[in-house]
C-alpha cells in the first residue's frame, strides 16, 4: 500500500486549471484532500487491478491519486476541453500510462459497461442546480439492471466541498464524505 | 482512445436509441505503446467486455482472424490473452472519428489528441 508521502509528492505535480470557468464550478481538488480520499478508499478495499471511472475529472487530480495508489486503469470523464488536455498532460507526467479521457457532458452521456469503482468531486449545484444529484444518479444508473450472476461491490466515494474564494461566495470547507455501497454489480444504460 | 474505451461508448444523441452501438471507427493516426501484461487482469476484463462489439470492431479495422466469440479455454490461452492485451491496452487511436451505425443518425464524433469528443449540440440533447 502506497505511503502518504509518496502519494502527496506524486500529486503535488498536478497542474491546476489555467482559467477556471465559473459556470462549471471549476476548481482543483486540493492535493492533500485527494490524498486523504484515496487513503480512505484504500482502507476499505484493494484498488490494485481495478478499473476506475472519475466523473468530472477536471485536471486529473483524483485520477492521478487513484493511479498512484495502484489502480490499473482510470477513465476520466470531463466536459471542458482545456481541462481534459491538462489532465492528459498531468497524468502522462505523473504516471505515464493507465488512463483514458473522454470529453463529454455527464448529464447527457449514455453510459455502458462496468467499472469497479467510481470516484468524483463533482460540481455542487451552486451555478447549475441539481448537477451534483445528476452525477450521483449517473453513477447508480437511471435504469438499474441487476445481474444475479455477478456479485461485486461498487463503491462511490464522494466528497462535498464548498466553493472557495475564487467565486467570492463561500469558504473552503469539507462538509461530508459520503460513501455508498452496492452489493450487486450492474450494467447501466441510459433510459431509452 | 483505447479500444477498451470504445467498448463503453455509444451514440449520445438523445433520439438515437436503436442500432447505436458499437460506433464505427475511422483511424487517421494510431500508435502502439507497450505496457506490462497482467494475465489475471486481462482475464477479468475480458469477462466484462461486450466481446461481440469488440470482435466486430477489430474485424472492421482489418484483422480478419479475430474470433467471433471468446474461446472456451481462454483463461489458459496465453497467445489469445496477449493479443487481447495488445488490442485493448496498447493500441491508442490518436486521431480519427467515431460514427453512429444507425442509418437514421450517422452522427460523427471526432477523436483529437487521443480524446473522443462525445459532447452534443443543443438540438441533439
Q: Do B116 and A102 touch (CB under 8 A)?
A: yes
pLDDT confidence of residue A140 = 56
Closest to B7 (Cα-Cα) out of B56, B69, B71: B56
Which residue is it, cell 468530472?
Answer: A56
pLDDT band at A30 (very low <50, low <70, confident <90, very high): confident
ipTM of this complex > 0.90?
yes
Give the mean pLDDT of A182-192: 34
- Average pLDDT score, chain A: 70
* pLDDT higher than threshold 90 for residue A188: no
Q: What is the pLDDT of residue B111?
A: 98
Relative orientation angle of helices A61-68 and A31-44, to the nearest 10 degrees: 40
Residue B45 at interface with chain A, using a CB cutoff of 8 Å: yes
A96 is written with which cell numbers?
Answer: 505515464
Q: Please state, in angstroms and rounded to a whole number, the distance separating the CA atoms of residues B82 and A141.
A: 33
- The structure's pTM equals 0.83
Query: Residue A166 pLDDT > 60, yes or no?
Result: no
Q: Which residue of B has its CA nearest to A105?
A: B119
Residues in A lying within 8 Å of B, measured between beta carbons: 49, 51, 72-73, 75, 79, 81, 84-85, 88, 97-98, 100-105, 108-114, 192
For residue range B1-43, what is the model confidence (pLDDT) as tens digits? 999 999 999 999 999 999 999 999 999 999 999 999 999 999 9
Distance between A5 CA and the closest CA of chain B, angstroms: 25
Higher pLDDT, B67 or A180: B67
Measured between CA atoms, how close is A175 to chain B, in angstroms? 31
- Percentages helix, strand, coil for chain A, rounded to the nearest 5? 30, 25, 45
| Higher-confidence position of A47 and A22 | A47
What is the mean pLDDT of the segment spanning B103-109? 97
pLDDT category, A112, cuts 50, 70, 90?
A: confident
Instruction: Write down the pLDDT at residue B77.
Output: 96
Backbone φ and ψ for A154, nearest 5 degrees, come out as -115, 120
Cell 505511503 maps to which residue?
A3
C-alpha span between A76 and A54 (Å, rounded): 5
Q: Within a 13 Å sphere around the CA of A121, how many CA atoms are in the beta-carbon half? A: 30
Q: List the grid coordinates of A189.
A: 444504460
Q: Which of A151-155, A188-192, B84-88, B101-105 has the lowest mean pLDDT?
A: A151-155
Residues of B in contact with A110 (CB under 8 A): 10-12, 20
Residue with cell 460523427: B108
pLDDT for A150 equals 27
- From chain B, pick out residues whose CB is under 8 angstroms from the CB of A51: 45, 48
CA of residue B62 relative to chain centroid, distance = 14
If pLDDT is split at 50, 70 and 90, which confidence band does A144 have? very low
Residue B51 near residue B69 (C-beta atoms within 8 A): yes
Residue B110 pLDDT > 50: yes
pLDDT at residue A165 greater than cutoff 70: no
CB A65 within 8 A of CB A92: no
pLDDT of A108 reads 92
Amino acid at each position: 500500500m502506497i505511503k502518504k508521502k509518496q502519494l502527496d509528492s506524486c500529486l503535488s505535480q498536478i497542474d491546476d486549471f489555467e482559467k477556471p470557468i465559473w459556470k462549471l464550478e471549476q476548481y482543483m481538488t486540493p492535493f492533500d484532500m485527494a490524498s486523504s480520499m484515496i487513503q480512505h478508499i484504500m482502507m476499505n478495499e484493494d484498488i490494485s487491478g481495478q478499473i476506475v471511472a472519475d466523473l468530472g475529472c477536471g485536471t486529473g487530480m483524483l485520477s492521478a491519486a487513484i493511479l498512484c495508489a495502484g489502480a490499473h486503469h482510470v477513465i476520466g470523464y470531463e466536459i471542458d476541453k482545456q481541462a481534459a488536455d491538462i489532465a492528459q498532460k498531468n497524468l502522462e507526467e505523473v504516471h505515464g500510462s493507465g488512463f483514458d479521457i473522454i470529453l463529454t457532458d455527464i448529464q447527457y452521456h449514455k453510459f455502458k459497461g462496468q467499472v469497479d469503482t467510481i470516484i468524483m468531486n463533482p460540481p455542487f449545484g451552486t451555478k447549475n442546480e441539481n448537477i451534483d444529484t445528476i452525477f450521483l444518479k449517473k453513477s447508480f444508473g437511471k435504469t438499474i439492471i441487476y445481474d444475479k450472476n455477478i456479485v461485486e461491490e461498487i463503491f462511490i466515494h464522494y466528497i462535498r466541498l464548498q466553493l472557495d474564494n475564487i467565486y467570492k461566495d463561500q469558504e473552503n470547507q469539507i462538509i461530508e464524505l459520503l460513501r455508498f455501497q452496492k452489493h450487486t454489480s450492474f450494467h447501466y444504460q441510459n433510459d431509452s | 482512445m483505447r479500444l477498451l474505451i470504445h467498448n463503453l461508448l455509444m451514440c449520445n444523441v438523445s433520439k438515437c436509441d436503436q442500432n447505436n452501438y458499437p460506433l464505427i471507427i475511422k483511424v487517421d493516426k494510431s500508435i502502439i505503446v507497450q505496457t506490462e501484461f497482467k494475465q489475471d487482469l486481462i482475464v477479468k476484463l475480458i469477462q466484462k467486455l461486450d466481446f461481440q462489439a469488440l470482435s466486430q470492431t477489430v474485424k472492421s479495422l482489418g484483422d480478419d482472424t479475430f474470433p467471433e466469440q471468446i474461446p472456451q479455454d481462454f483463461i489458459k490461452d496465453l497467445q489469445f490473452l496477449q493479443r487481447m492485451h495488445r488490442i485493448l491496452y496498447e493500441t491508442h487511436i490518436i486521431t480519427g472519428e467515431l460514427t453512429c451505425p444507425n442509418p437514421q443518425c450517422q452522427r460523427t464524433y471526432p477523436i483529437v489528441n487521443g480524446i473522443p469528443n462525445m459532447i452534443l449540440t443543443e438540438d441533439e440533447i
